[in-house]
Structure 1
Amino acid sequence: MGSETELKLGLLPEYSEEVTALPLLEQLSYAEPERRTLTNIYYDTSAQDLRRARVALRIRRDGERYIQTLKSAGNGQAGLSVRNEWEWERPEPSLDTDLLREHLPPALCDDSLLASLQPAFETDFERHLWWLGGESEEGAWQVEVALDRGEIRAGERRMPLCELELELKSGQSDQLFHLALEIARQLPVQVCDASKAQRGYELAGAAASLPSVAPGFDGDATLSLVRLIGDCLRAWPVQLEAAMAGDEQALQALARTLDLQLVALESLPEVAEHCQVLISQYQRLRADVARAHDWRLLDCMPQAWQHTQRDAGLKLLQGLRHKTLPGQLALATGELLWQIVDDEAVDG
């Protein structure tokens, strides 16, 4: 069994060529970059029992190699996830279900269930790989950077795929945030907590609910605020993406989530004192969302005026796809949360 720690960034296909020109990819590389063509078939039952158990199963073709991979659901935030994975070389593109029994939940090891596994969706993409390394205060580190460009297919449905994956090979997780933030300062990226498998299932018809945030007290004020910051971070990038697609419910939820995030950040003394730049960036994003959302308070205005405001607000939100602010903001907040967790582990 291996453990995979990676940070995933989405970007518009029009910016993919600019990735290859990023200075850090040349400055920090310790090996020649590579290009690979990868075809992946994901398997599940017709009832999507594997998805419900939060595991993903695929056969990957990489050149002349076939690799069977089983992955558990990732734990993390701000695009950074840690998951378990098991890989087996296969002589042909077929499943060996006997290899899965030791690693699947007991409920999934039923013979009839395993026999009913069938292709659910596919991903087909070109991968451009760089291997980066260096020294930091915490020691040596190595990171694999992959630019994936292609598509996800489920039956007749298609979804474009364009994303960056930063996988930690050695060193501390902080290095992933450092590299990702450097990229986010130069290119408009979106933090992606959804894996390729999750998006494939959505394309295949699995409904994806809009995340919401419900503040709660956990017995300790600081712990409750930190948890709220994490809940808001998991929610607002997804809400923003849906709002940019014209979802009015998502826009309302986004405005509330950003308000909660600002209140939580400003209510933690150490954060409020040392993270003024982060707070001011949230205020900038909230101001843009306010311009797209808050005019609704004037429902007394004529319908023509309201339609004009709605169109202008949607155009403003869609313009954020080409801004570096949302990506930098999500990554900086994720890095802050990981630092808080590390500090608590040390204190503990």
Structure 2
Amino acid sequence: MSEQELKLHVPAASRQAVLREIKQREATRIRLHAMYFDTPERELARARIAIRLRQEGRDWVQTLKMPGINAITRIELNHPRPGPVLDLSVYAGTEVEAALSAIKGELGLRYETDVQRLLRKVRTRYGTVELAYDTGILRAGALELPISELEFELVSGRPAAIFAAARGWQQRHALVLDPRSKSERGDALAQLAQRLADADAIPGEDLEARRAQAIAQFWAPRGAAAVKLREDMTPSQAMARIAAECLDQIARNASVLAEVDTEDAYRAGNSEHVHQLRVGVRRLRSAWKLFDGWIAPVSEGLLQGVRTHFAAFGANRDQDVLNETVAPALMRAGMPVIPMEAAPPEQDARSIAGGKAFQAWLLDLLEWSLDVPPAVPSSGGQPIANGTPSDTAPEPAIRLDGGVAGPSVRPTIIPMLAPEPDPQRLRKQLARRLHRWHGKVADQGTQFATLDIPARHELRKRGKRLRYSLAFAESLLPAGKLRGYRKLLSRVQDILGEINDLAVAKDYYESCTATHPQAWFALGWISARLEELAEDAQRAFDDLAASKPFWK
């Protein structure tokens, strides 16, 4: 069977209020002790399967879980057990038999959870939802992580019921979206426990450094992952898959910045989490541009949220680049020390990531991504987005008298047989659009030396859009031709990225000259470096313009 659920982290400051609200109506309390199993090589986790034995009050239940068709759907197989005995024979003849039969290692206990759960049902206009407020501990070896989460599981009705219920709780209690399941967190904690044990087994003065590295890796930033599209997908299906990947990158980095696991005991979030979160947002915006005209227009609320939150995180990112990249480079070049007096952003990254506005936007984005609406055909039969036709304009309608119909007459003729579907339609659509984008970037790039600062900034954004969109379509395009092109495009982006960082730093040091004369050193060094980069950028764009076509 499948279940649909959404999980939100409850911050420490909100737990008493959530508990009071849960208890306002009749709620059921139950203790849950679960043991999760896998092989030493994590064969189940690699197959995206979780198997547990859980004591629910006096009863024992064996459960297997796997991801479903989208971010809120899980496949779940439950079997009552007489005690804490794992029985794999119950999966004979099921869809997981082949995967479990392929396991080579011996199953053993990897991690466990000990949870107090409060259950209560709520009704919305879309259906009934069960709330489960879990508090407790996730344990792997000697390591523990806190569990404090509110789950919204659909009992009956439409998935919209989950979001209708979750939005109110999220806004009242500043809850945080956490895409990870308990099993994913437990598997990661078990890996950390093993890495720490391995580090302790090797004597040496660098033991603490090795332990610190292993701990930092546990909360490593979540980078972009590959997206595999199929040629038979509709644009809406392809966009949904891409949006799910982008959202996962955004939400996972946001949850670390919001201190979901650490709660001030350890500062896990850093500048790279901010950077990767913003990369996820850029990728999403690029995908919206890539599919413009093929899906229904994105709501103004989602678009405005992108603009607002991207800018807020950007202020943090600019300061991080200045402190961690540009200033050290200037110091190595011999610049006298300048006290850093840059005004801090209005909000730090942690406040933004855990804030109600950003988290509400994530919920809206998640609900949209589950069912991306297709473009609404115009009266001429072609999809319309944002009031403009897509790549191909509709043919004029034919009047009965043989002339061309005026704007008020657009008869539609339905053929006797529907046209055969083109299994390569998605690939052709994407290749055609990427080809056009490449032409615009290459044409403008060959004139890079003559462009002013705003034009260079716009060119940088066009190049990023092309790069991210190319990655989305990569599974449908010739791999051999893409390899060389990606290198050329990455080279362009690296140069333009450094130019942008230096331009931001230049503005800062210009503001420092009145109080810190040594800032003139920085301005001279930055100006010289910008001249070098401009020449590098011109050569890189010339190479890109001369590259072989990847879209054929």
**TM-score bucket of the superposed structures, by smaller chain:** 0.7 to 0.9
Cα distance in 2 between the residues matched to 1:145 and 1:306: 51
Partner of 2:111: 121
Residue identity opposite 1:58 in structure 2: R
Partner of 1:142: 128
Query: Residues 120 and 222 of structure 1: is their aligned pair in 2 closer, same or farther, counting only changes over 3 Å?
Result: closer
Cα distance in 2 between the residues matched to 1:342 and 1:22: 39
Partner of 2:170: 184
Cα distance in 2 between the residues matched to 1:197 and 1:110: 21
Indicate yes or no: 2:51 matched with 1:57.
yes
**Cα displacement (A) at 1:21:** 4.2
Residue identity opposite 1:198 in structure 2: E
SS in 2 for 1:93: coil
- 1:188 touches 1:321 (CA, 8 Å); kept in 2? no
Cα distance in 1 between the residues matched to 2:235 and 2:80: 50
Please give the residue correspondences for 1:243-282 in structure 2 after superposition, counting only pairs within 5 Å.
243=257, 245-265=268-288, 268=292, 275-282=299-306
Deviation per CA, 1:162-182, whole angstroms, max 9, x where unpaired? 111111111111111111122
Partner of 1:163: 149
- 1:49 touches 1:108 (CA, 8 Å); kept in 2? no
Partner of 1:316: 348
Pick which of 227-236 and 155-164 moved more.
227-236
**Cα displacement (A) at 1:281:** 1.8
Please give the residue correspondences for 1:9-28 in structure 2 after superposition, counting only pairs within 5 Å.
9-22=8-21
Partner of 2:65: 71
Say which one has the larger Rg: 2
Q: 1:284 aligns with which of 281, 287, 308?
A: 308
Cα distance in 2 between the residues matched to 1:193 and 1:5: 13
Cα distance in 2 between the residues matched to 1:306 and 1:176: 50
RMSD: 3.5
Please give the residue correspondences for 1:197-208 in structure 2 after superposition, counting only pairs within 5 Å.
197-205=183-191
Partner of 1:325: 357
SS in 2 for 1:40: strand
Cα distance in 2 between the residues matched to 1:93 and 1:160: 24
Listed as ranges, the gaps of 5+ residues in structure 1 are: none
Partner of 1:86: 77
TM-score normalised over the length of structure 1? 0.81
Deviation per CA, 1:20-57, whole angstroms, max 9, x where unpaired? 3449x85xx6xx21111111111112222211221111
Cα distance in 1 between the residues matched to 2:50 and 2:116: 21
Cα distance in 2 between the residues matched to 1:34 and 1:56: 26
- 2:296 touches 2:374 (CA, 8 Å); kept in 1? no
- 2:295 touches 2:374 (CA, 8 Å); kept in 1? no
- 2:294 touches 2:375 (CA, 8 Å); kept in 1? no
Query: Residues 132 and 342 of structure 1: is their aligned pair in 2 closer, same or farther, counting only changes over 3 Å?
Result: farther
Query: Residues 119 and 335 of structure 1: is their aligned pair in 2 closer, same or farther, counting only changes over 3 Å?
Result: same
Pick which of 37-46 and 176-185 moved more.
176-185
Listed as ranges, the gaps of 5+ residues in structure 2 are: 193-216, 259-267, 332-336, 377-420, 422-552
**Cα displacement (A) at 1:67:** 1.1
Residue identity opposite 2:277 in structure 1: L
Deviation per CA, 1:63-91, whole angstroms, max 9, x where unpaired? 111111111234423xx2x1221212222
Cα distance in 1 between the residues matched to 2:244 and 2:339: 34
Cα distance in 1 between the residues matched to 2:89 and 2:235: 49
SS in 2 for 1:294: helix
Deviation per CA, 1:127-171, whole angstroms, max 9, x where unpaired? 1111122444xxxx2211101111100000011111111111111
- 1:211 touches 1:238 (CA, 8 Å); kept in 2? no
Indicate yes or no: 2:100 matched with 1:108.
yes
Cα distance in 2 between the residues matched to 1:203 and 1:163: 17
Which has the larger strand fraction?
Answer: 1
Cα distance in 1 between the residues matched to 2:301 and 2:91: 48
The structure, 1 or 2, with the larger RCO (C-alpha pairs under 8 Å, 6+ apart) is 1
**Cα displacement (A) at 1:266:** 6.3
Q: 2:32 aligns with which of 38, 41, 56?
A: 38
Cα distance in 2 between the residues matched to 1:110 and 1:278: 44
Query: Residues 33 and 148 of structure 1: is their aligned pair in 2 closer, same or farther, counting only changes over 3 Å?
Result: same
Indicate yes or no: 2:353 matched with 1:337.
no
The alignment covers a number of residue pairs equal to 329
Indicate yes or no: 2:229 matched with 1:239.
no
Residue identity opposite 2:136 in structure 1: G
- 2:119 touches 2:132 (CA, 8 Å); kept in 1? yes
Query: Residues 134 and 230 of structure 1: is their aligned pair in 2 closer, same or farther, counting only changes over 3 Å?
Result: closer
Q: 1:295 aligns with which of 301, 315, 319?
A: 319
SS in 1 for 2:174: coil
Cα distance in 1 between the residues matched to 2:85 and 2:371: 43
**Cα displacement (A) at 1:279:** 1.6
SS in 2 for 1:76: coil
Cα distance in 2 between the residues matched to 1:19 and 1:271: 38
**Cα displacement (A) at 1:205:** 0.8
- 1:59 touches 1:69 (CA, 8 Å); kept in 2? yes
Pick which of 55-64 and 245-254 moved more.
245-254
